[in-house]
Each structure stands twice: as C-alpha cells, then as structure tokens.
Amino acid sequence: MRWNMNNLQLPSDVGAPKDQPRTTNPALGWLERIDPGAHRRIKGLRLVTAYSIAAMLGTLPAISRGLAHGSLLSVLAAGFALWASVSEGRTTRPESSRDLVLLVVASALGAAMMIAFSPMLTGPGRPGPELILASGAFLVGYLKRFGILAAGIGSQIYIGQLLAYGARLTAIDLSMVGIAGLIAALAATVPRLLSGPAEQPAAPLANPHDNETPALLMGMQAAVAATVIVALNDFFHLTESAWAITACTYVIASSRSGTIDRVRRRILGTAIGVPLGLACLPLAIHAPIAVWMAAALAMIIYAMALPERYDIACAAYAFTLIVTMAVSGEHSLKLLASRSWETVIGGALGLGAAMLIVPPRSSQLAQ
C-alpha cells in the first residue's frame, strides 16, 4: 500500500488573534506558530480516528463473514477512510460530510477499475496490472483544474487503485469493495461531525508560481512517468514499483520550480522517515501497542506539516508506513528499506517528465 497517498497543498491557517496571550513554553509556542488555533492537530486526530473506526468495523465477524478475503476488509476500509479525510478540506460540516462520501465513492471506483482491468494486463507479454495506476496518476494531476473536490476525487481514484493492486483483489472481491466503501463513509464522516467548528481549514489560495502548467499537462507528466516505471519494472523487477509510481504522481506540481521543490522535499523526508521506522522494528515485535501509538502521533504530525512542510509530512508518513507494515507482520528489511530508493526513482522520473513535457511557449505567455 502506498499509502500515498493525496498530497494537496493547502494554505496555512489563519493566524492567531493579536490579543492572544503568548505562551512561555517553547514547545507550545512552536505548535502555535505552525498550527494556530490547533486546527491541523484536530484534523490529525480526525485522520487517526477515521482510520481506527474503519479498521475496527472491518474486523467484525458479522460484517466480514462470507467474504472471500474478509481479512482484507479492514485494510481496505481504513485506507479509504484515511485518505478521504486527508483530501477533504471544507469549512462547514455539511459540505465536509458530502465531500467525504464522494471521496470514499471515488476510492471504491478506483478499486473497481483495478479489479475490472487487471485481467487484461496480466499474463506473458503483458505489462502487468500496475499500468492501470498510470490512469489514476493522470487523474491526480488533470482533475486539479476543477477545484479542491475534483482534485481529491482524482487522488482517491488513484488510492483505490493502489489499495486494490496491493491487496491483489479480483472479481470476487467487488462486494468487499462496496462494503469497505460503506464502512469508510461512516468512519470518515462521524469524526468530522464531532469536530464541528473546532476545525476550520483555510480556503485554498492561488498558486504563486508564474507560467503555471495546464492541468492536462500535469496529468500527462504523471502518467508518462508512471508508464516508464512500469517498463523499468518489466526489465529490472523493482522491489515495489507501486511506491515509485506513487512518488512520481505526487511530486508533480504546476511549475518546474514547484516540482523540483517537491521532489527534493519528498526524497529528504523519506530518507529520514524510513531509517526511523526501521529503527523501531524491534518494538513492532515486542511492543506493538507502542508502535501503533507512535504511528498515530506521526499521522498527526503529517496533518500539521502537509500544508507548508512537505518534507516533514513525507518523513512522518514514511515512518508510519514502515512501522505499520512491520507490526502487521512484514519484516523483510529489503522490502521495507526499498521505500527509500523507490521514492528516489519515482521522484527522479517525475522531475524528468516535468522537464520534458512542457506547454508551448505561447501557452505559457497566455497564463
């Protein structure tokens, strides 16, 4: 799972009132500077809560009974709920609840796409089902032209494809995808209704970069980079090609300078988060509860850092991915460590695509 994850670039929250008393505690002062009003911390708690509710409901025998791969229901529902909550960015509860349901539906649609088209790409002489991820990568970039909800839908379609690919779902799992969607919609909306006015995400701001790349070309950049990774995997058998595809998908920005910055930050963050996660492998075996608590804290940090510190957000998520995979039973050091070099491959190819696939000069001048 990549998770990888929707990396929407939301603006910073509105600053604290001028008459608010300053804290003398350095740690609290730092938190207030990067997260005035505690809005991002509340969202981070909401992410963890949505994931936990979905994971718990997915393990109930009364729900998973009769499913061919019922043990995967928890993972699928939790992934849908978590990343829908990340992508959602409305201010009011009714709008947020509506968007969360639509985002979960988009995740289920992405999973269904992977299930439907995988057989066509599986077999000797065929590129493999990971090629379907290129379509999701295109939608991540292209749908940004239609606003925050559409951008989230594009990302959620990719996330659904990624989760279905990682779980190797087949046609007999379509009913499980539908059930996972219902669970995720409930798990994502309940925490948002409870957070209420305490959570006030700021409205998106216009991208400050000049000569913005049209969304169509952003989608093409991501899709081309993803297709190249599929070809590389066919020749060199990458350890986890989906992680590289995810990296190239989410480093694409609306300008060359933006893409360069995101590539640098993603690689730097992953280079920090993966070793920290690997250092916690002994705890994953002997103290799994402590590891889950550390993962929850890391996701709160992820929510706090994502709008302005993409590097810290990537480090927090890389750490979370490594330790949760370890506590779930994956102890292959090669596989876990491959998160680092797969990110480098994906980031480099995403940057290369952004450098080569550019709008005509006349189009740039018209921006």
Our separate counts of H helices and E strands in the chain read 16, 0
Give me the amino acid identity at 305. Answer: A
Contact 193, 87 (CB under 8 A): no
More confident residue, 44 or 36: 44
Q: What is this structure's pTM?
A: 0.88
Contact 221, 229 (CB under 8 A): no
Contact 156, 107 (CB under 8 A): yes
Tokens in use for 80? 């849908």
pLDDT digit string, tens, across residues 199-230: 666 544 444 444 467 899 999 999 999 999 99
Rounded to 5 degrees, φ, ψ at 194 are -75, -30
pLDDT digit string, tens, across residues 159-194: 999 999 999 999 999 999 999 999 999 999 999 998
More confident residue, 42 or 210: 42
More confident residue, 185 or 32: 185
pLDDT digit string, tens, across residues 232-269: 998 888 999 999 999 999 999 988 999 999 999 999 99
Measured distance CA(357)–CA(297) in Å, rounded: 39
